[in-house]
Amino acid sequence: MDFRTYAEFLPSAYTADMTAPASTWWQWRQTRVHIARAAVPGAAVRAMVIHGGGGYSGALWPAAAVAAGAGVDVLAPDLPLYGDTIEPDPARVRYDDWIDLLCDLVRAERAADPRPLILFGASMGGMLAYEVAARTREVAAVVATCLLDLSDARARAAATRFPWMGRSAPALLRTIDPLLGRVRLPIRWLADMAAMSTDPRLSRLCATDPRGGGVSVPLGFLSSWMNYPHTTPESFDAAPVTLVAPAADTWTPPALSIRFLRRIGAPTRLVMLDNCGHFPIEEPGLAQLRATMSETVTAVAAQADRP
């Protein structure tokens, strides 16, 4: 499966002239990271697309291409366990590794190319984008479909397949991690992949894709995710944050992300994507997503032009 399989779920008006990504590779520690790219040398702004659990660059590429539109240089890494990234020891991967990898990638990209960089985080990728911006302070703006703060028991209940599982998960996972941390389980056993989309066919595709939702993840990864100490929103001042919340998301209801957004110290903006589920493919939300990203790109480019 490649991005074309996922593109079939979007309105044809967006996909007819969609740019196919080019595969590139970046070595990070012992991991060979696959990065999908659509290079636009003359673009004033670049965008990095960050997937979450069950996603990867190919799955997100169509929606990301719609959001970015023309004239934006786009890159989308596959985080270890997912996509085409080659991880020599999948059982050792932890959420902290994802944060460290993305921080190093942002720094490497910024060192090689000084153009302003926007982070676009989808699902779990929203908090990754937020944290990477906080830690690197080299990001011009963050756009996220979800900001799920797992220190909130209500957010944990939404993130896991069964609400009772999420409420007690951090303490339970900390307890079993030393002995069972390397044990890998299918992510669809632990997350409600059926709620990925309002289209059951897309939900099934996401849940069974061997490079996405069909992946097995180590319990230690889940423990590190549930217990990760994210930057407190009140102290966050690294970049403006825009929440593009799918209004019909039944998996991670927008209210959970909005509650976190309102606590962020930096400038924030909320845009509801009308009629969109967790994986945004519906109109008019797609058009709203594209317009919001265009406005963000314009604002970032204007800021970069100021002396």
Reported as a single tens digit per residue, the pLDDT across 188-235 is 877 778 889 999 999 999 999 999 999 999 999 999 998 999 999 999
Q: What is the CATH number of the domain that holds 18?
A: 3.40.50.1820
Listing DSSP states for 147-188 in one string gives ---TTSHHHHHHHSSSHHHHHHHHHHHHHHHHHHTT-EEEHH
The number of domains in the chain is 1
**The domain containing residue 284 runs over which residues?**
3-305
Joined tokens for residue 49? 């697309």
Q: How many angstroms separate the Cα of 101 from the Cα of each of 15, 27, 55, 108, 167?
A: 31, 10, 17, 10, 28
**Which tokens hold the place of 14?**
């967006």
Strands 216-218 and 241-246: unpaired
- pTM equals 0.95
Q: Which helix (H) or strand (E) holds 23?
A: strand 22-28
| 276 contact partners, CB below 8 Å, separation of at least 6 | 198, 246, 247, 248, 249, 282, 285, 286, 289
Would you say how long the chain is, in residues? 307
Distance, CA of 29 to chain centre: 22
Instruction: Work out the mean pLDDT of the chain and round it to a whole number.
Output: 92
The pLDDT confidence band at residue 187, using thresholds 50, 70 and 90, is: confident
